[in-house]
Structure 1
């Protein structure tokens, strides 16, 4: 194939949840389009989407305190929480559509109902949590949220966390039962199985080495077949770069002006996983705490029930680590080679600004297992060292760019989509809430990159996502209808599954 050019309509780089979602949406909207996927690894969903490489939280802002901020007047701003919740509702609707239309089977293989909780200690934090609860519980999106600062009630909710705890300062929690645990690795693999059945060509062990625009506006990719080492040439009218941490280098190679003045800083995650089934059985929730002063938002500690490989697990973290790699399977030169003449000042400015982050990362890297256990004991007072093992989670590349609000070299903690002016190429960068909002993010990519088709595709999009273009918060009847139907389709109304 090295001597001839293979032409196609759409090329997706990376076989993670984002490419899986975009490919599935496009196959519903324009089944006749030819789609090719190139993935460096030998199977789908092995990097950021893998179930051991992320927290598995269906991010709907039910428990994550960093999505709600206290304003100077003491009130709590929940606008970001509303936005993220509505975006997660879009994902739930699309997944329900895929189950109802038999594109996906056995939803319990990728999503399970699980209470989401926020837990805080100390007068100031308890006051904040109560104000947050009052602001959120009045909103239809967060209906059913409960608050308690009564230790006996908290013992009912979270016995593992409350047993053996010294109650020398106030403690409080919120709880909402409509939370979820999502196995994004399993969902990614299921979506790629579906795409394969729709004649999407998925090429594993194929690494995209270069990407250049041709005179006719299409894109030419040089792709290395890792088995044969041959370089293949592929062209497409539209390219999506969804390679996790690897996206930044490919965006830079594309040469689009929108990709300039953007840098990336890698942060790796480490979780502690419980190996004692008796301890695992005592906890049934995702419980999020508050990040320590000076710690970045992605370091919020949480104790999570997880459902992985038909087994109930218990994870605590994340602890931050550092590696210059942009992917777990990346190169030690990733960070150095991402610095270009057009982003070097942005990167240097970020380095000067983020000294506290650097200090935090150094402290985290130096932690011993016993020091990590001490942090765990702030959640589980009776935790025993022998019951817990360390597992290295995924690499996340935090986006660094120049912004009006933050100035030069501002670290971004969300998900960023970079699109060429003509819509012929898009790249996804950044981290949380990422996978949870994949459907919303990919619909935005479709809207930006295919504006000429928006009107024609809208009826189909509304069939898949009934709330498309509508604020659920302002339409409580539609919200209730959607909640009921998605819960029924995804199996939340059924008796809780029993796992070994």
Structure 2
């Protein structure tokens, strides 16, 4: 039985952090617009946004060494790090706006202060870390960064990681105390609570089966209502596809030219997790190391303090896994079904040129628990195998496309917006830094899809996000002012001990 609903202004596919962010932005700049959300799972934030499906790092390039590359002359290129940091500042400002106006409450449920640390070993890596520190310290966005190669200081910073190390071991670290741990699952659920209060219709257990264009320019979705066991048809002027790994197949269904020659390769993440409170209390930082030679950017090892459901845990990884599914809740046929006549050459080219990645994935899949523990012991020398367990994190689909720089079949490791030339549909593809830069990415969606409305919306956007359109790295006084205001609004300036007793996210 088929059931048809009336037309609406906006449809968002997927109830993750991206749809939540776009929906809330639209409700602020165009409150009169009618918005509907369709999610195939039973609640919001259950796939990539879920707190157990990502590392929860507020990515600001404070500690992630893969955002700073070394040039042939030995100098350090910080342009990508500055870009990522600028984007995270937009998220902080928007979250602060929502909190200050009571649109979301209890920021401690989704964001906590945590030092961000980069740690390296060996003379060559230490020299690089020093040069990185010097380059970043000249930029106001990276204020407060400290460097040390002194074992006594390192023991103060990282007691669990320094226990049992030889005093002659060459090791160094940088630390920034203004880093954050972000529970994107909790934030997503808060934003959807806000959207419902704004009369946004959120439909769970609704799976989009097909997308077509009507003669009058609307996008029509054929949707399976799992609860009522019926097919529904919904139409909208504007369609956003924010379905995580499921976005590629849905984008392909639109038939827009911009979606052709784009493929995807799924990679699943595995983490080692320690829930022993005695061990967790000995470590308080997010510590990023350096990826091994030949390993992809997504493999940078890191040891994270996490706060989930009011409990402190430690998480180490990621280790790569493989599944042909594009979502944890997806189908084993997802990868095969994503290959079509338009992208098959691109996909084959990627397979030929990414042999190192294939080799890396095979090696990762063959790792035993003890082999993973040996990698962890490079961070925590005395780590005990029975105190750590493997948790399967989210599925990520890396974009494959033809580019001028990389040629045919180039694997992309960032986040990418694909939109139709008329701005009627947009989709988000890719992975990290993802959720941390959700506000920047969704502003990009607005700019691409509603260029004629941006002048009208600009004052409201500037009210919500004061640095919109401004490079904060070139406005140090404005950066310091906004940063301090955001710290206050989000409760990041208060001691962590005072925040431990705050209520946990539901």
* TM-score higher than 0.5: yes
**Pair 252,167 (structure 1): closer, same or farther in 2 beyond 3 Å:** farther
Corresponding position of 2:119? 119
Corresponding position of 2:252? 252
- Offset at residue 2 of structure 1 (A): 2.3
Give the ranges of 4+ consecutive aligned residues of structure 1 lying more than 4 Å apart after TM superposition. Answer: none
- Matching of residues 200-219 of structure 1 within 5 Å: 200-219=200-219
- Offset at residue 4 of structure 1 (A): 2.9
Which digits, 9 at most, give the CA deviation of each residue in 1:440-478, with x for residues without a partner? 000010011001100000000000001111110111111
- Offset at residue 167 of structure 1 (A): 4.6
- Offset at residue 3 of structure 1 (A): 4.3
Corresponding position of 1:223? 223
- Matching of residues 92-171 of structure 1 within 5 Å: 92-171=92-171
**Pair 498,5 (structure 1): closer, same or farther in 2 beyond 3 Å:** closer
Which digits, 9 at most, give the CA deviation of each residue in 1:293-322, with x for residues without a partner? 111100100000011111111100110000
Corresponding position of 1:48? 48
Aligned residues of 2:323 and 2:332 also touching (Cα < 8 A) = yes
Which digits, 9 at most, give the CA deviation of each residue in 1:23-51, with x for residues without a partner? 00000001110000000000000000000
Q: What stretches of structure 2 of length at least 5 have no aligned partner?
A: none
Corresponding position of 1:181? 181
- Matching of residues 404-423 of structure 1 within 5 Å: 404-423=404-423
Please give the TM-score of this superposition, normalised by the length of structure 1.
Answer: 0.99
Corresponding position of 1:238? 238
- Offset at residue 151 of structure 1 (A): 1.2
Q: What stretches of structure 1 of length at least 5 have no aligned partner?
A: none
Which digits, 9 at most, give the CA deviation of each residue in 1:45-88, with x for residues without a partner? 00000000001000000000000000011100000000000000
- Matching of residues 88-487 of structure 1 within 5 Å: 88-487=88-487
Query: Mean Cα displacement is larger for which, 276-285 or 3-12?
Result: 3-12
**Pair 119,217 (structure 1): closer, same or farther in 2 beyond 3 Å:** same
Structural RMSD (CA): 1.0
Distance 1:365 1:394 in 2: 16
- Offset at residue 5 of structure 1 (A): 4.0
Distance 1:297 1:495 in 2: 33
Distance 1:67 1:466 in 2: 25
- Offset at residue 498 of structure 1 (A): 2.5
Distance 2:167 2:335 in 1: 45
- Offset at residue 389 of structure 1 (A): 0.9
SS of the residue corresponding to residue 15 of structure 2 reads: coil
Distance 1:498 1:149 in 2: 31
Aligned residues of 2:43 and 2:204 also touching (Cα < 8 A) = yes
Aligned residues of 1:51 and 1:185 also touching (Cα < 8 A) = yes
Distance 1:167 1:237 in 2: 65
Aligned residues of 2:3 and 2:230 also touching (Cα < 8 A) = no
- Offset at residue 346 of structure 1 (A): 0.5
SS of the residue corresponding to residue 474 of structure 2 reads: coil
Which digits, 9 at most, give the CA deviation of each residue in 1:313-368, with x for residues without a partner? 11001100000000000000000000011100100111011111111111111111
Q: How many residues get paired?
A: 500
Distance 1:216 1:82 in 2: 44
SS of the residue corresponding to residue 136 of structure 2 reads: helix
